[in-house]
Homo-oligomer: A and B are copies of this chain.
Amino acid sequence: MSVLTLGTVAFDTIATPFGNSGKVVGGAASYIALAVSHFTDQQHVVSVIGEDFPQAFLDELRKRGAGLDGLTLVAGGASFHWSGSYHKDMVGRDTLATDLNVLIGWEPAVSAAGAEADFVMLGNLDPEVQLKVLDQIQTPKLVVLDTMNFWMDVALDNLKKVIGRVDVLTVNDEEARQLTGKHFLPQAAEAIHAMGPKTVVIKKGEHGALMFHEGEVFFAPAYPLDKVVDPTGAGDTFAGGFVGYLAARAAATGLTTWEDMKQAVTVGSVMASFTCEAFGTEGLASLSVDTLRVRHNAYLALTACGDVVWPQG
């Protein structure tokens, strides 16, 4: 099953209380595409870059089967560049600079092959761009949307249009609260279901993720890392692992079941932990399936325990 990945392919410059990244490759689609590539070599990346973007990263994506027909190269343009600084808690962050550069005026163009994608991962971007991409896709089996509070602040109407057209929404807990006005997450998920998405994944960073679907709830913890170097891209990696896993399962079975989705959330959670262990995309790019599998086993052991013996009632 093929996956269409939309998002930024860009640069990040990140400061944390523990170190600085320098200017590194980042962007939602970079993380998503790498995560997806662990599960399928049928991927179409839709994004835009400037002439300053490193060829080596594009070669890496191509080597992993990510088609770049939908990647616009703006002659003389500079790639999108985000710069931010994390607080001491490694969760809160301040944006220091957002250089939109080639994002300005970009008209996303989906290739003929991309338009036939089975799975669509709309990474964090202007909802208007997400809508333009959705309009070019024929009959996807599953559309997943990741977004953030910024778009709730400045583009809520368009964001709601996108939300109304997707199967799965992934947002963090504060964003779910902002979007719905509901403090308690089961209530927020219900309000989001009413906007369209049958499945709602609420990401809580180091506290894991909750998935709500047709009255069912699933919880996936975060893998407890000894040290977080940089959480940037963790949410994108999570989303990419989630969609990539579902695409691989659907390729084998023709279906996307609730069991598949639960497994996909655990896979995405574990993949995200590798992204947190280093600046940039390197940890994710160099990840082997064996390494992933070993940590996933440790991850499952985190919540495994024998049967509780109850007192006589």
Contacts and interface: CB of A to CB of B under 8 A. Distances in A.
29 contacts: A88-B183, A184-B226, A184-B227, A184-B228, A185-B224, A186-B224, A186-B225, A187-B226, A204-B207, A207-B207, A208-B221, A218-B303, A218-B305, A219-B221, A219-B302, A220-B303, A221-B221, A245-B308, A248-B309, A248-B311, A262-B304, A263-B305, A263-B306, A263-B308, A266-B308, A289-B311, A289-B312, A290-B313, A303-B303
What is the copy number of this chain in the assembly?
2
B249 A309 contact: yes
Contacts of A88: 183
Contacts of A288: 313
A88 to B, nearest CB: 7
A38 B221 contact: no
A126 to B, nearest CB: 30
Given A186-B226, A266-B308, 16 more contacts: A89-B183, A184-B225, A184-B226, A185-B224, A186-B224, A207-B208, A208-B221, A219-B221, A219-B224, A245-B308, A248-B311, A249-B309, A289-B310, A289-B312, A290-B313, A293-B310
